[in-house]
Structure 1
Amino acid sequence: MTATPTLPTTAPASARPAWVTQDRLDGWFRWVFRDPTGTDTVTAQAPYDGRPVATVPASTIGDVAAACASARTAQRAWAVVPYGSRAEVVLRFHDLLVERQDEVLDLIQWEMGKARFSAWQEILQVANIARHYARHGATYLKDRKVRGAMPGLTKVKEQRVPKGVVGMISPWNYPLYLAVGDVLPALLAGNAVVSKADSQTALTLLWTRALLAEAGLPTDLWHVVVGPGRTVGDALIDHVDHICFTGSTPTGRSVGARAGERLIAASLELGGKNPLIVRADADVTKAAAGCIAAAFGNTGQMCIHIERVLVHDEVYDAFRDALVAGTEALRLGQTFDYSVDVGSLASQAQLDAVVAHVDEAQDLGAVVLTGGRARPDLGPYVYEPTVLEGVTDEMAVCLDETFGPVVSLYRFSSDHEAVRRANEGSYGLSASIWSKDEGAAERMAGMVRAGSVNINDGAAAAAGSIEAGMGGMGDSGLGRRHGAEGLRKFTESQTVASQRLVPLGPPPSMALETFVGLGNKQLRLLKALRVR
């Protein structure tokens, strides 16, 4: 079954938002940490027209070291600020973000090319994160009393202390959420932060840094450096106390290895090849709509998006037809309003990767049910939402991450087979199961290797549940963002024990043999009393 898509389309009217004046750019550029005499710059191309976005000042390796030293000094004062006062800054930021969101929505679209609704979802996530940690973070970090070595005589508590300076390396695909969503809990935990902005989307991060300054964040507490990952990113790992990286699995391995050499912790959210399972009892119409949202949202450029769709034989044909029809109804193009469903890919490199996967699959026998074409008439990096059938193991699109608007359909005949296929490959980030039997779906979820499993939702239900952790298994990374761990990972656990009345160990007048004998009797008594 091959269809020629008839997508409603919209070509961009203009690229640079009119309100982005040189004065506004200069105001954001002041937040790039670098020597005033520096001359290095970076320039990204706008997906709208392939022309330069803006020439942004770039940092050097020396600038990174200086930024971390400055942040370390500022962190010492911030660490003694009460949590409630830190939270007030974050809540003011929340209000400013919601109030001025149209500005950053324009920047996200200009720099990255996504549809406006996909950009707005970043506002939603960051605002929810800000409120959640501002309101509940103190509870996550509160001291915990535990029993001591000698009950009644030893008082012990575990407390959380800041790591110090946290380094953030964030990607271009969610330039607000994946950057600032980790910065906020790190700051609230009492740390300073140094962020490496992705060169493709530096303006979004710099705009956000200026907004947090307006909300009252001390100037030196959060620095932004800009430049290539191989120099600026590596240098950042060498000077911080914790590194938080979101990006590809190969780069994540390098980040983790470098962090390991320094014996600092690394939280890594990496790639995914996420499956969606449609059981025989699923509501096919709802499942197809959920698949479309999870596969083509953000133009498929999100680590949790669906790339593999496993469908039971009994509903395969009906689901396939609904999926194709829904995909062809999507509005494709580039506009600074909500009239488009699927925007552009972010760069020529992303377009090339998508084209390579789809073309190779077709050459090896896969069938394009809809899509499968670049659309230069709509923008230099626009590619149609694509549904493939007949994909086999030797095709790269089968288990390698595509990171674009492409899904492949596969049949299965039993839950066991579906779970086996879902667990193929090395990734384990997110998954989706569609079924009218929620209990059966939950039991299946426990057998799927994925950090998050969404039931009767494609991807957003788990990711949007800020109180629950989000992260991957296998090659999809280490650690979690969101929830208690999303804040505690930026702290160290410290045990404070106070001994009262008598010291631990034998009195000076008692023979060691006698003390050991009394100790053994105590062990037997404590066991009999079921103590500890």
Structure 2
Amino acid sequence: MAATATERKLLLDGEWVETGEWIDVASPYDGSVVARVAKAGAAETRAAVDAAERAMREPLPAHKRAEILVRVAGALGKRADEAARLVSAEAGKPLKAARVEVARAMSTYTMAAVEARKLAGEMVPMDASQAGEGKLAFTLRVPVGVVGAISPFNFPLNLVAHKIAPALAAGCAVVLKPASQTPLSALLLAELEHDAGLPPGWLSVLVGPSGEIGDVLVEDERVALITFTGSGSVGWGIRERAPRKRVNLELGNATPVIVEPDADVDDAAARCAANAFSFAGQSCISVQRIFVHEEVYDSFRDAFVPRVEALRLGDPADEETDVGPLISTAERDRVLAWIEEARAAGATILTGGTREGELIAPTVVERPPAETHLACDEAFGPVCTLQPYTTLDEAIALANGTRYGLQAGIFTSNLRAALAATRALEFGGVTVNEVPTFRADQMPYGGVKDSGNTREGPAWAVREMTEERLVVVQL
């Protein structure tokens, strides 16, 4: 049975355990302690890997894995309000956005259950060559092994779901390290997995220092794959330290949007305003850099800025709040410094740029110089930029002018322009007449360049978490 709401134990080898040390989980909005969580370290991580290895010696049939995943989705639906309020409390996410995250996590588990049921290899046409005559061959998809999963704070429920659900669908046991700022949602999912009948060892959830838990996951040869979502420096550092493992990285972005002169300007302005500031911009694909053709620049700006100013800033627990706090005061101060840097370099602050209590007012920065952070780095805060351009080639060059490549978007009614942009934009995904903040959980999601090296979405993640084994039979 799980611990109380204010004191959470860790799931380790099917048991809820204390360690004698605790981590306080504080509200980013007012600093109050939401709960305290048992603190794990290297010893608990090694025990979790031991348990995962033992568990995989007795594989779970695909139908049982699928049934467990479906039960988790159903149980999460029954506790949807509780889960949304937990996300809001620990992450400072506005409640309306937290409810969307819960619905998406349910979808992620449901899609993963589908993948568990249809996981299969393929036939090889052996008699296509003389050497293969008289032979039958096919491939199997087998689990890659123990998965070490490291998830970030910004989607503490759904990004955890994107780690756990595909791994279990693939037949892999998981050792999960959620962000220490937001571990409660992960522990709720662990509780649901446990109650759904997941046998001991198949999932352990450990909260504690990255240097202890992460080091074991990186160094232990029994961990075959690490799936990481977070900062580029940490992610690529893991990749360098574990060259013999599969290391799947989902990292950052400085998300661009191009608005062509033939676009529906009002629609583009409305979508960008809503998606540049959701969860205070703390999403890897939050709209950040908006490039608008000079012919419609003024009309876009005049439609966009009032919509930004209409967003409600405040307590994330309030059903009407659109923009809440950043995850920490350090992040708040960094974003304010980046805004001031752009202002000092000659940019114009069209709205926002100020603190309101502990919050940052939604901010629009016009024409930031190319060398400023806001023009090329990931802001991860409630701020976006506006800049005019003359030709589509210029806009594409501006959009590509960053080390990131996760998702980008273009608004246009010209099919030729749309297809040209999808080929020229150096990003893992391109949206047309939709903001690149859009993500459906069944689609392949991932980036290029410094944004990562893999694709998530259950169908794609399951492939990453399995090996292809060839079987040849002499007839």
TM-score by length of 2: 0.94
1:299 Cα offset (Å): 1.1
Q: 1:431 aligns to what?
A: 408
Q: Does 1:270 align with 2:251?
A: yes
The one of 142, 159, 162 aligned to 2:120: 142
Note if contact 1:294-1:458 (Cα within 8 Å) is conserved in structure 2: yes
The one of 368, 377, 382 aligned to 2:349: 368
1:145-224 maps to which residues of 2 (within 5 A)? 145-148=123-126, 150-224=131-205
Note if contact 2:151-2:229 (Cα within 8 Å) is conserved in structure 1: yes
Tell which structure's C-alpha radius of gyration is larger: 1
Note if contact 1:32-1:206 (Cα within 8 Å) is conserved in structure 2: no
- Matched residues in 1 for 2:152 and 2:103: separation? 18
- Matched residues in 1 for 2:398 and 2:369: separation? 12
1:80-479 maps to which residues of 2 (within 5 A)? 81-139=60-118, 141-148=119-126, 150-239=131-220, 240-260=223-243, 263-376=244-357, 380=358, 382-461=359-438, 463-464=439-440, 466=442, 468-479=443-454
Which letter maps to 2:91? Answer: M
Q: 1:523 aligns to what?
A: none
- Matched residues in 2 for 1:40 and 1:155: separation? 57
Secondary structure of the residue aligned to 2:161 is helix
- Matched residues in 2 for 1:91 and 1:211: separation? 11
Deviations 1:427-472 (A, max 9, x none): 00011111122443133111101111111111354x2151x31100
- Matched residues in 2 for 1:181 and 1:37: separation? 26
Deviations 1:369-401 (A, max 9, x none): 00101111xxx3x21110001200121211111
Q: Does 1:482 align with 2:457?
A: yes
Q: Does 1:491 align with 2:466?
A: yes
- Higher mean alpha-carbon deviation, 114-123 vs 423-432, is at 114-123
1:416 Cα offset (Å): 0.7
Secondary structure of the residue aligned to 2:155 is coil
- Matched residues in 1 for 2:115 and 2:177: separation? 28
Which letter maps to 1:107? Answer: L
Which letter maps to 1:151? Answer: G
Note if contact 2:104-2:441 (Cα within 8 Å) is conserved in structure 1: no
- Matched residues in 2 for 1:276 and 1:429: separation? 12
Secondary structure of the residue aligned to 2:288 is strand
- Matched residues in 1 for 2:142 and 2:97: separation? 36
1:317 Cα offset (Å): 0.4
Aligned-pair identity in percent equals 37
- Matched residues in 1 for 2:86 and 2:18: separation? 28
- Matched residues in 2 for 1:205 and 1:315: separation? 45
Which stretches in structure 2 are left out of the alignment for 5+ residues? none
Q: 2:9 aligns to what?
A: 29
- Matched residues in 2 for 1:107 and 1:165: separation? 29
1:481 Cα offset (Å): 0.3
Q: How many residues align?
A: 468
1:280 Cα offset (Å): 0.5
- Higher mean alpha-carbon deviation, 130-139 vs 236-245, is at 130-139
Which letter maps to 2:120? Answer: K
- Matched residues in 2 for 1:56 and 1:472: separation? 33
Which stretches in structure 1 are left out of the alignment for 5+ residues? 1-20, 501-532
1:96 Cα offset (Å): 1.0
Note if contact 2:108-2:441 (Cα within 8 Å) is conserved in structure 1: no
Distance change in 2, residues 1:390/1:305 (3 Å): same
- Higher mean alpha-carbon deviation, 312-321 vs 128-137, is at 128-137
- Matched residues in 2 for 1:92 and 1:483: separation? 17
- Matched residues in 2 for 1:338 and 1:37: separation? 35
1:36 Cα offset (Å): 6.2
Note if contact 2:353-2:360 (Cα within 8 Å) is conserved in structure 1: yes
Supply the RMSD in Å over aligned alpha carbons: 1.9
Distance change in 2, residues 1:335/1:426 (3 Å): closer
1:49 Cα offset (Å): 0.9
Which letter maps to 2:383? Answer: V
